[in-house]
């Protein structure tokens, strides 16, 4: 698995951005010559499969906290190995996903999950991974949980806050609290 300090792979993936078939799809590019979110922090999270049970709870929570991530100049990108058409159908049929404010990327060729080494060897789907990537494309946080265990979205926001201070942050540090002085 690629980890902290390594360059996040460049990608160009089809994304589902709405439930209207006329405007549902777009291409998202990152860390190559053409970067959709140049100069932004990226919070890229992966889920195993659409139309499952744990995944929509996490996706909906990222949606609820999207404004807080945007306020920190961060773009959320959700990714699975399902197609953009499966994402569209899921969004159309699952109330809590209908109005998601961030793209759902389709890694159907499994190129990004393979480059990150997060393709589950048994199930052949993305592992439940979360990455925080700085504007220079460097991974600053990486976490993977078991396929059956949802992640804590508020923890990803807390880590982003800590990373953006560029200071030493103690255990359980929260935005607005004092950082550590090494002197």
What amino acid positions are annotated as catalytic residues? 55
Question: Kind of pairing, strands 74-80 and 41-46?
Answer: parallel
How far is residue 49's CA from residue 47's CA, in Å, rounded to a whole number?
Answer: 6
DSSP 96: G
Closest CA to 106 of 94, 88, 120, 93: 88
Residue 92: enclosing H or E segment and its boundaries?
helix 84-93
Do 83 and 106 form a contact (C-beta atoms < 8 A)? yes
C-beta separation of 32 from 115 below 8 A: no
Please provide the DSSP assignment of 113-130 as one string: HHHHT-B-TTT-SB-EEE
Strands annotated E in 72-181: 74-80, 104-106, 128-133, 139-145
């Amino acid at each position: 698995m690629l980890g902290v300090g390594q360059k996040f792979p460049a990608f160009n993936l089809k994304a589902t951005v709405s439930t209207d078939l006329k405007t549902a799809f777009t291409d998202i590019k990152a860390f190559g010559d053409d970067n959709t979110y140049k100069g932004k922090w990226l919070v890229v999270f992966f889920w195993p499969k659409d139309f499952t049970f744990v995944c929509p709870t996490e996706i909906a929570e990222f949606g609820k906290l999207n404004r807080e991530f945007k306020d920190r100049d961060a773009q959320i990108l959700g990714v699975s190995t399902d197609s953009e058409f499966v994402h569209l159908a899921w969004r159309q049929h699952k109330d809590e996903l209908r109005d998601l404010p961030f793209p759902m990327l389709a890694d159907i060729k499994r190129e990004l999950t393979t480059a990150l080494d997060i393709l589950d060897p048994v199930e052949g789907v993305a592992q439940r991974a979360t990455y925080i990537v700085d504007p220079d494309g460097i991974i600053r946080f990486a976490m993977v949980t078991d396929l059956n265990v949802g992640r804590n979205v508020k923890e990803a926001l807390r880590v982003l806050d800590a990373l953006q201070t560029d200071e030493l942050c103690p255990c359980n540090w929260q935005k607005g609290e004092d950082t550590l002085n090494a002197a």
